[in-house]
Structure 1
Amino acid sequence: MSGQAPTGSIAFLGGYEPRLCGIATFTHDLCEAVSTAAPSAQCITGAVNDRPEGYRYPPRVRFELQEKDLDSYRRAADFLNFNNVDVLCVQHEFGIYGGAAGSHLLALLKEVRMPVVTTLHTVLREPNLEQRKVMEELAMRSDRLVVMARKGAEILRETYGVPEAKVDIIPHGIPDIAFSDSAVYKAQFGVEGRVVLLTFGLLGPGKGIEHAIEALPAIVKEHPNVVYLVLGATHPHLVAREGERYRLSLERLAEDRGVKDHVIFYNRFVSLEDLKEFIGATDIYLTPYLNEAQITSGTLAYVFGAGKAVVSTPYWHAQELLADGRGTLVPFRNPKAIADAVCDYLNHPDRFEVTRRQAHQYGREMIWPAVAQRYLEAFQHARADRKAAPRTAFAGWTLASRPYDLPPVRLDHLVRMSDHTGIFQHAIFNVPNYHEGYCTDDNARAFILCNLLADLGATPPGENLDHLASSYLAFLAAALNRDTGRFRNFMSHGRQWLEDCGSEDSHGRALWALGNGAGHSRNEGRRRLCVQLFEIGLPAVLNFTSPRAIAFTLLGIHEYLRNHPTCPKAGKVRETLTNWLVTLWKDCADENWPWFESSATYDNARLSQALILSGRWMPHPEALQIGLNSLRWLASIQRTQGGHFRPIGSNGFYVKEGARADFDQQPVEAQAMVSACLEAYHATQDSTWFSEARRAFEWFLGRNDLNLPLYDSSNGGCGDGLHVDRVNENQGAESTLAFLLALAEMKWAQSPLTHLLLSPT
């Protein structure tokens, strides 16, 4: 050891460049980032040597210790104490310190007098006895612990009993790489015009690269221009034990599988600047690692933050980083899944681009300047904790999850389609079609949308939802024939009713909207009118035979009972209608056709949604289970092998023992699936249902059979359907409202208050 650390210094302990390992790179980058973020602080480093001769370290390294020399740890403690270092930041990995499970480090920690902040690069959920003892001691002697993923904090709490208030979650730092087109970088590597797959980092058997190579034949068959670049030197410890056996086995495998012309091995430990160039040339990054219990991956963080699409096995860090559509997870040791995921990105450029942008945007929280600030805060907390008891204010110190990115609400087209009478049914392109007039179905949907947006506080600036809501409700009031208790449906542009009695479905939708208004409207006059109309129109439903009319009515009864929970009539009708749907299911469903009817036609998911909702809140366990089972089947037959949503087409629907129609796909089907799956998610708290809702929602945005968006981002309108070769460019009311309702429901599902408002208590 040489020199003295100035007063007010921060010391970092770990490996350090030019040592070739991930911890050395991390320690170097963290030290430099903190030094830049706090120029008045004196940042010094202690380097752990894994070889007797050490390394030619830069001046930043002020002391060294030998990995297996216990006394060198004590000497390092003496150096830190003597020089009055303010804070010690330890990089912990069991393998870089000497002794059983790296226990030599404890000799240093027992003797240092300054606050200690320890970054845990590995957190074992099932440690052996030695590892557990070391970790418990390490936790006790550290003032604060830093983990890079929520999973790490969870394991610390559940496995080691570490208080949450002692743990900071700070992401792995990454360089700030601009979002760019990979084509800009490919020429310098001679891969212009090719799709580049990349894996980089120190090579070793745990990386699972053999499974990526096994996936290549299937990928190349579909995309012959793919090249897989394996970048990085074999881990020096592995080379010392067995040479390049692993790398050679990968090269032989590539040759055996006939893809040697599609694999490039670059056996170098590249500099950061070179690495940026390689990342820039990358299209898809692969991390086929084999161990779930990997709590962090610096290589994954680097490429993810640069805005690259990632296909990864579900080790813990990948599960968190790639959640919410920011990447694709595949099972361990599954080449077919890797091939399918890669081809899915390449076959769906819209999804590929969305994933990239989501990753890059999320990665802005991980760039080194941001991470350095987080560490400086942790250091300040450690000093405060050393002087006083830990404060509960920091008990929830975690990184917030990025909510699923949703488009903004735009009502331009909705307003254009509406007048003082209500909303027009149809449009020619984005122009209202007066000739087709109005209908109760669409005004009911529009009124529900107004109430939902009001609850969300999601009205765009300058829009008058109050005026729109009054117009739509006025239409429903005029539609009700009070003498018969039935709603009419179609009205001409000249405000003439075109029928004496509408369909059962339109009646059910009207009751749904009125129940929604009775339960949600913030305007007392509208709320009271909704109650009045609802009570007049409800009895007629008891004679209906349309399953969808029954389902719509059940949805309306649920909303009505929010403000009228003791209404005996509504409660009795709900019980009758629920049992009717249950009976319908029992009479028709079998193992291969778990459905309510002998055909699946339109607005299918509403049947499942109605039973899930009623079954949960009555409660009626059998109804709830039928709702979930039927929805599970419906989701399975509307999910393609590529993973996107494909609703049953209206050009023939799906008859039992027949072939389902794939086109024309209707927006109301996607919206119904969004609603039903979110209801299933609220009922079960199973995140799979939220994923299914998102899958259906993304159909609007272009994750569909044609990779074409139906949603018009310029005005909030939505095309009338997806044909076999194009989007129907007419933006009618039903389709536009389907999108806007789905969007509002997705926003509602992500609201912090949702779980409270949906609680049965």
Structure 2
Amino acid sequence: MVLDFVDRIAAPLIVTFHTVLEQPSDNQRRIVDHLVRRASRIMVMSLLSRDRLVAQHHAPREIVEVIEHGAPDRPFGREDAFKAARGLGTRPVLTTFGLLGPGKGLETVIQALPEILRAFPSVLYRIVGATHPNLIASEGERYRNELKELAQSTGVSHAIEWEDQFLDTTELLDQLEACDIYLTPYPNLQQSTSGTLSYAVALGKAVISTPYIHARELLGGSVGILVEPKSAPAIAQAVCSLLNDPARLATQKRRAYDRGRLTIWPRFADAVSHMIERSVAQPLCAESVREPSFDAVRRMSDSTGMLQHAIGAVPDRRHGYCLDDNVRALMLVNVAAGISINERIKLATIYAAFIQHAWNEDIGAFRNFMRFDREWCEERGSEDSNGRAIWALARTAIDNPNAELRQWATRLYDTVLGHSQALDSPRTLAFVTLGAAAMVAQRPGHEPSRAAVIRGAEILAHLLERSRRPDWIWFEAVAAYDNPRLPQALIAAGQALQRQDWLALGQESLAWICQRQTAPGGHFRPIGSEGFGLPYDQLPFDQQPLEAQAVLDACAAAYRVDGAELWHMHGMAAWRWFFGANDRGVVLADPDSGLCRDGINPRGANLNCGAESILAFHLSYHSMLALIRGQTQDSGKRVDHTEQGGSRPVVYS
């Protein structure tokens, strides 16, 4: 249940681990690993816990913060007054407090009392705290009774005072102030946090403890005395050495008190506050709309095409190429006015050659994935890659500045369009419909394109009406990737064939998915890839640039239809997502280099800059321009931009 819960948290998640086990079970390891992957920041209370999370659970060291257990802030040296209030006189008082259970090791102290009492007959050992409720439920007071029987058999019952109740904080601290030496004889040396130990140190008590994790760290530097576990002689010797030397006892108390100043609640609160400040999204800096540098596209391209992936900003040749990225790259150079016409034609020819080579005429389908050695990994690519290729060919036939490339695209489009009749996944239909609708606008009498538009729009409209519920205006029972393309296709089909019903369905479903991807704070929150395919549900991570581009494209298309401010608002939110208006406050895109990070995960930005992300950013810029120009034309606002792709920013109101 906890893991299911944290998977749905979009806000920065801070996880506090009370204990990090040295040898967790397989299930414990699975749960901790999952929490570590989701956490933006992790808080632990010991250095060893941090080191274990890093070594055993692969937590990035930079997100793990050690903030020691907090403790109260009270004046030093008030033992006499609090002893008097309890009628304890001047007796030396030893104390252990906390919920009782076998893990406390109290029997070891009781076994040490005979030797202590021989040297100091007036010593009183106070055991403060109720029995642990889980122990009460399973065996009642058996453990406490066994301790009392041990005290009776060793003849020390008269020197033990039992405070058998659960105390509120003030009473607990008052009781603790009435002691001279605090004992934590825990036999389990893996305990990484003890609130009772933190309290005792902060109140200035001389502490004798076994060397469990928290004690080793808190009592280091002679702040306390560490003794071997389950050793009554060691405890007796440590207690007697302090009581025999009042000056040493006073020094130990002062050392503890001084060390405790580092852990008092105000210091704890400051540390936690600073941790939270480092975890939350920072205020967004306004970002003008500047055409991204084409350098990032160049560095991901070679004579074969555009490489898929990168490690950081360096192309990763191991994964080769894919049709999807090359069709997107071709669509970009069709409209990228910020580079020379010669470079546009050169790059367009490279991407076009990749698409042409991807066409497998023997089976009537495009291949998708190619290794770096130019060998295809398959004979048939995914339906989506085939649909995107048809869309890109249509756009190239219309948008490319070179007549020969436009003719090439038209011929190949006409060749492959008929094979799309076998494609029926919703997004593939949307891609084909977008391409065919563009062709209908360019070639009104082209019947294969009209038929493809009708087929795609009718199926999408049918899916929408079949799947809709009062709270779910969508084409399927799930939401996945590139979601706005489905309503965008209906809008394009409605415009191409003058079908108001398709336009209305496209606008309605686009408004719904845009609202679904808007966080309560108003920023864009795309459906995360981890949640693709969840019935009537979604998860916030990982967020990918492709989703922002799809929103911008679809909103620009909708804005051209009705000029509604709604589309401008959602489009602007998607654009700003690239520049920090997101759940982690991270900037993904850099106009100066043209690079774009691969998305947002629970810890922040994915630092890799793959082809899909770079192209999504560059194509988003052109959709953003369309939105701004459309709004300006409608409202009469002035826009400062360079029509031929200069570097001056677009200024929008």
Provide the TM-score with structure 1 as the length reference.
Answer: 0.45
Distance 1:463 1:350, change over 3 A: farther
Q: Are the counterparts in 1 of residues 487 and 510 from structure 2 also a CA contact under 8 Å? A: yes
Q: Are the counterparts in 1 of residues 438 and 496 from structure 2 also a CA contact under 8 Å? A: no
Q: Displacement, 1:686?
A: 0.7
Q: Are the counterparts in 2 of residues 648 and 654 from structure 1 also a CA contact under 8 Å? A: no
Gaps of 5+ in 2: 1-279, 635-653
Matched AA of 1:458: G
- Aligned: 1:573 with 2:452: yes
Give the corresponding residue for 2:556. Answer: 678
2:463 to 563, 578, 584: 584
Matched AA of 2:362: D
2:405 to 514, 520, 526: 526
**Aligned partners of 2:512 and 2:442: how far apart in 1?**
34
Distance 1:657 1:568, change over 3 A: closer
Q: Are the counterparts in 1 of residues 560 and 630 from structure 2 also a CA contact under 8 Å? A: no
- Aligned: 1:614 with 2:493: yes
Q: Displacement, 1:573?
A: 1.6
Q: How does 1:330-479 map to 2 (within 5 A)?
A: 349-351=282-284, 353-354=285-286, 405-453=288-336, 457-459=337-339, 464-479=343-358
**Aligned partners of 1:408 and 1:517: how far apart in 2?**
21
Gaps of 5+ in 1: 1-346, 359-404, 757-761
**Aligned partners of 2:441 and 2:632: how far apart in 1?**
15
Q: How does 1:580-729 map to 2 (within 5 A)?
A: 580-653=459-532, 655-658=534-537, 660-729=538-607
**Aligned partners of 1:547 and 1:754: how far apart in 2?**
34
Matched AA of 2:551: M
Query: How high is the sequence identity, in percent, across the aligned residues?
Result: 38
Q: Are the counterparts in 2 of residues 748 and 754 from structure 1 also a CA contact under 8 Å? A: no
Q: Displacement, 1:576?
A: 1.4
Q: Displacement, 1:753?
A: 12
Q: Displacement, 1:407?
A: 2.2
Distance 1:707 1:753, change over 3 A: closer
Q: How does 1:157-556 map to 2 (within 5 A)?
A: 349-351=282-284, 353-354=285-286, 405-453=288-336, 457-459=337-339, 464-556=343-435
Q: Which has the higher contact order (CA 8 A, sep 6+)?
A: 2
Q: Displacement, 1:440?
A: 0.4
* Larger Rg, first or second structure (1 or 2): 2
**Aligned partners of 2:347 and 2:566: how far apart in 1?**
36
Q: Are the counterparts in 2 of residues 608 and 628 from structure 1 also a CA contact under 8 Å? A: yes
**Aligned partners of 1:639 and 1:547: how far apart in 2?**
23
Q: Are the counterparts in 1 of residues 281 and 586 from structure 2 also a CA contact under 8 Å? A: no
Distance 1:752 1:697, change over 3 A: closer
Q: Is the partner of 1:527 in helix, strand or coil?
A: helix
Q: Displacement, 1:671?
A: 0.5
**Aligned partners of 2:358 and 2:601: how far apart in 1?**
33
Distance 1:483 1:657, change over 3 A: closer
Q: Are the counterparts in 2 of residues 582 and 626 from structure 1 also a CA contact under 8 Å? A: yes
Q: Displacement, 1:433?
A: 0.7
Q: Are the counterparts in 2 of residues 599 and 655 from structure 1 also a CA contact under 8 Å? A: yes
Q: Is the partner of 2:578 in helix, strand or coil?
A: helix
Q: Displacement, 1:462?
A: 9.9
**Aligned partners of 1:563 and 1:614: how far apart in 2?**
13
**Aligned partners of 2:416 and 2:632: how far apart in 1?**
30
Structure 1 residues 226-273: Cα deviation after superposition (integer angstroms, max 9, x where no partner):
xxxxxxxxxxxxxxxxxxxxxxxxxxxxxxxxxxxxxxxxxxxxxxxx
Matched AA of 1:724: P
Aligned length: 356
Q: Is the partner of 1:596 in helix, strand or coil?
A: coil
Q: Is the partner of 1:435 in helix, strand or coil?
A: strand
**Aligned partners of 2:587 and 2:312: how far apart in 1?**
15
Q: Are the counterparts in 2 of residues 585 and 595 from structure 1 also a CA contact under 8 Å? A: yes
Q: Are the counterparts in 1 of residues 541 and 601 from structure 2 also a CA contact under 8 Å? A: yes
Q: Displacement, 1:465?
A: 1.8
Q: Displacement, 1:714?
A: 3.8
**Aligned partners of 2:341 and 2:432: how far apart in 1?**
33
Q: Are the counterparts in 2 of residues 482 and 536 from structure 1 also a CA contact under 8 Å? A: no
Q: Are the counterparts in 1 of residues 479 and 536 from structure 2 also a CA contact under 8 Å? A: no
Q: Displacement, 1:496?
A: 0.7
**Aligned partners of 1:350 and 1:479: how far apart in 2?**
45
Q: Is the partner of 1:553 in helix, strand or coil?
A: helix
Distance 1:753 1:703, change over 3 A: closer
**Aligned partners of 1:478 and 1:564: how far apart in 2?**
26
**Aligned partners of 1:684 and 1:649: how far apart in 2?**
30
Q: Are the counterparts in 2 of residues 518 and 563 from structure 1 also a CA contact under 8 Å? A: no
- Aligned: 1:557 with 2:440: no
1:744 to 611, 622, 625: 622
Distance 1:450 1:490, change over 3 A: same
Structure 1 residues 392-448: Cα deviation after superposition (integer angstroms, max 9, x where no partner):
xxxxxxxxxxxxx30232111110000111100000100011110001000000000
Provide the TM-score with structure 2 as the length reference.
Answer: 0.53
Distance 1:753 1:449, change over 3 A: farther
Q: Displacement, 1:654?
A: 5.7
**Aligned partners of 2:374 and 2:470: how far apart in 1?**
49
Distance 1:585 1:462, change over 3 A: closer
Structure 1 residues 687-715: Cα deviation after superposition (integer angstroms, max 9, x where no partner):
22111111111111111001111113441
Q: Is the partner of 1:426 in helix, strand or coil?
A: strand
**Aligned partners of 2:391 and 2:363: how far apart in 1?**
19
Give the corresponding residue for 2:34. Answer: none
Distance 1:657 1:526, change over 3 A: closer
**Aligned partners of 1:752 and 1:569: how far apart in 2?**
31
Matched AA of 1:630: S
Matched AA of 1:695: A
Matched AA of 1:515: A
**Aligned partners of 1:515 and 1:755: how far apart in 2?**
27
Q: Are the counterparts in 1 of residues 289 and 621 from structure 2 also a CA contact under 8 Å? A: yes
Q: Are the counterparts in 2 of residues 512 and 557 from structure 1 also a CA contact under 8 Å? A: yes
**Aligned partners of 2:508 and 2:551: how far apart in 1?**
14
**Aligned partners of 2:632 and 2:342: how far apart in 1?**
25
Q: Are the counterparts in 2 of residues 554 and 574 from structure 1 also a CA contact under 8 Å? A: yes
Q: Is the partner of 1:655 in helix, strand or coil?
A: coil
Matched AA of 2:489: A
Distance 1:495 1:681, change over 3 A: same
Distance 1:657 1:580, change over 3 A: closer
Q: Are the counterparts in 2 of residues 638 and 648 from structure 1 also a CA contact under 8 Å? A: yes
Q: Displacement, 1:463?
A: 8.2
Q: Are the counterparts in 1 of residues 332 and 618 from structure 2 also a CA contact under 8 Å? A: yes
Q: Displacement, 1:458?
A: 3.0
Q: Displacement, 1:559?
A: 2.3
**Aligned partners of 1:589 and 1:753: how far apart in 2?**
31
Q: Over aligned residues, Cα RMSD in angstroms?
A: 2.1
**Aligned partners of 2:633 and 2:390: how far apart in 1?**
26
Q: Is the partner of 1:578 in helix, strand or coil?
A: helix
Q: Displacement, 1:752?
A: 7.4
Matched AA of 1:728: N
Matched AA of 1:624: L
Q: Are the counterparts in 1 of residues 394 and 439 from structure 2 also a CA contact under 8 Å? A: yes
